[in-house]
Homo-oligomer: A and B are copies of this chain.
Amino acid sequence: MGKILVMYDTQSDRKFTSTVVPLIEEGIAQVGGMEVRAKFVDDCTPQDVFWADGIALGCPTHLGGISWRMKKWWDDNTPNVWMKTDGKLGVAFTSSGSRGGGGELTCLALNVMMMNCGYMCFGITDYIAKKESLHYGAVVAGEPREEFAKESCRRVGRRLAEWVAVIVDGRPECHPLKATYPRFPRDY
A126 to chain B, nearest CB (A): 9
Binding site secondary structure of chain A: mixed
Do B65 and A66 have beta carbons less than 8 Å apart?
Answer: yes
Q: Determine if A120 is an interface residue (Cβ-Cβ < 8 Å).
A: yes
Name which of A18-26, A28-36, A136-144 contacts chain B.
Answer: A136-144
Select A123's contact among B65, B118, B163, beta carbons within 8 Å: B118
Chain A interface residue number, banded = 35 or more
A65/B99 contact (C-beta < 8 A), A122-B120, A122-B121, A176-B87 known: no
Complex interface residues of chain A between 36 and 63 (CB less than 8 A to chain B): 62-63
Q: Chain A: residues with CB nearer than 8 A to chain B?
A: 62-69, 71-72, 74-76, 78, 82-84, 86-87, 89, 97-105, 108-109, 111-113, 115-125, 127, 131-136, 138-139, 141-142, 152, 163, 166-167, 175-177, 183-185
